[in-house]
Amino acid sequence: MGDWPIAIGTSELLDQGLNTASTTLTSVTSSATPNAMGSWTQIVASSPIDAQMVHVMLSVDDSTRDSLMDLGIGAVGAEKIVFPKMLLTNSNNDRMAWSFLMPVPVKAGIRIVARVQTSSISLVRRIGLHLMGRSFLGFSAMGRVLAWGADILTSSGTLVDPGTVANTFGAWSELVSSTINKVRALYVMVGNNNLSVRGTCAAHLQIGIGAAGSEKVLIPQMQLRSQTATDLWTPRVFGPFFAQVPAGVRISAKAQCSITTATERLIPVVVYGVD
Amino acid sequence: MGDWPATLGHGKIVQYGISPSNSLGTSTTSGTANAKSPWTQLTPLSSISAHGFFLQILSQGLNDNLVDVGIGESGAVKVIVSNVLYTCGSIADQLFFYAPVSIAANSKVWARHQSTGSSGDTIYVSALLCAHGFLGLRPVSKFVTFGAMTSDSGGTEVDPGGTANTKGAWTEIVASIAIKVRMLYVAIGNRDLATRATMSLFIDIGIGASGAEKVLMSNLYCLSEDGGDTWTPQMFGPFFTQVPSGTRLSARAQCSSATINERLFDVVLYGAP
């Protein structure tokens, strides 16, 4: 593998923000105020390469709380958010790790940072990155990531209720009334509503577009699962879906669940659009 | 969103294999341990020409599983994605990943699996098929699997070694890949272990001859929790990295624990030509 593949591909993969002495990622601590963003924590002082996309690794390994994490770039005091309000979740104080590909470029020499808010104080979430170098032709780089449905008052997502009839779709829940710009890719992240007890159940989640009462399914059934051992909806991230959504579109979600137990059937949802 | 976006992107996304009556996917049930089950059809006929699909797999049992996806007529199914490693400890961390493999319209899509479990082990499989954009993403015809062990329905065992937080020796996944690949996925298996303490891994994937390995992907991060006893995540990628044919692929890791058995994990690699 050369440094500059001619066609589409990545030239190199560089890990950043890892603590090899303890085999963990960079710790990011939430603020001393519930549901308020903490301070920026540096992951990388200076990106060593022009990255065309970033592989994001996340873990939660302490108290059960939904959390919203911002990934940003920029000098101290001038940080800009590139991926807002990533929904991180766990249950039963269990440790979980997951990862996803973020098709957003980061130039060489850029400082990369993260911050987090939780509904409890001073909780640790962790993040590490792989910077993916450019090929000669490269990908069509994407720009901003926008979050739709994040609830900063609870550090979670919009609650989607499958309703009181098992295995039957509930009503649509609006995530955003009108998107402000066209996006080319979507991610869906799922939280746990700070629940430490959730029965064994399955759910199907759909994302729709269109006005209230005339929604059309954009992303059909995504499979969710919870078990009594971990009390947690899994998986926690879906995508990227390279779906193009124009500006001015209303986005909503609905679900069906195999159980009707109040609270346990609820699914916090945040959708992310990449322009 | 129309059916034919002018530039790169999906058109329609259509689900197959969904079972609305229980909010699950299509069940496939194994017969003999470590032998493939019969093919189960996910959809009568695909209604769209897909350039790729998201595969969704879940189960409830403590088992390693290798899952195939195929297309074709009954009795003549051709494998397009082989031996996807899906593994459970005390929990099922559901697998969801994108396979950029094309499926023509009016195809029959099938799944089957093998498991370390005895007869009757069931998993649930469904897929979200994604149609082309006008220019489209360049699809591939099939995935190539490296390191899957059909004898135990797992992958190639990698040992981080007896010193915590220190990289162990390289383990060969495949001596020589037969084709050039331009995209790789890394699957992590749990080796059928029902008890695994809280610990973490950094996993490297390397290329090159024995004794001269070079790191291709560094420090992929996995966690295990004593409550769940399962390495998470179970799949990394896609990594758009180009590897020439004839290349040897290997893996190594460091673990925060040196506990024998519990520090071990399985690796399977998937390459898209």
Distance from CA of B148 to the nearest CA of A (A): 22
Domain covering A13-133 in this structure, CATH number = 2.60.120
Percentages of chain A per state (helix, strand, coil), in multiples of 5 = 0, 45, 55
Domains parsed from chain B with CATH numbers: 13-131 (2.60.120.680), 144-272 (2.60.120)
Nearest CA in chain A to B137: A242
Of the partner residues B220, B225, B255, the one whose CB lies closest to the CB of residue A94: B225
Q: Which residue has the tokens 């089957």?
A: B112
ipTM of this predicted structure: 0.81
H or E element: which one contains A159?
strand A158-160
Is it true that the peptide bond before A246 is cis, omega within 30 degrees of 0?
Answer: no
- The verdict on a CB contact (< 8 Å) between B244 and A1 is yes
Q: DSSP assignment of A188-250, as one string?
A: EEE--TT-S---SEEEEEEEEESSTT--EEEEEEEEEEE-TTT---B-SEEEEE-B-B-TT--
Between residues 168 and 207 of chain A, which touch chain B (CB distance below 8 Å)? Answer: 184-185, 200-204
Report the topology of domain A145-274. Jelly Rolls (2.60.120)
275 residues of chain A, pLDDT tens digit each: 444 454 455 667 789 999 989 889 999 999 999 999 999 999 999 999 988 889 999 988 777 788 999 999 999 999 999 999 999 887 765 677 888 888 788 999 999 999 999 988 899 999 999 998 866 555 556 677 889 999 999 899 999 999 999 999 999 999 999 999 888 888 999 988 888 788 888 899 999 999 999 999 999 889 888 877 777 888 888 988 888 888 999 999 999 999 999 999 999 999 999 88
- DSSP three-state, residue B58: strand
Domain boundaries, chain A: 13-133, 145-274
Q: Is the CB of residue B269 less than 8 Å from the CB of residue B88? A: no
Structure tokens at B242: 């180009």
- The verdict on a CB contact (< 8 Å) between A130 and B91 is no
Of the partner residues B22, B223, B239, the one whose CB lies closest to the CB of residue A59: B223
CB pairs under 8 A between A and B: 194
Q: DSSP assignment of B138-203, as one string?
A: --BS--EEES-BTTTTB-EEE---SSTTS----EEEES--SS-BSEEEEEEE-TT-S---SEEEEE
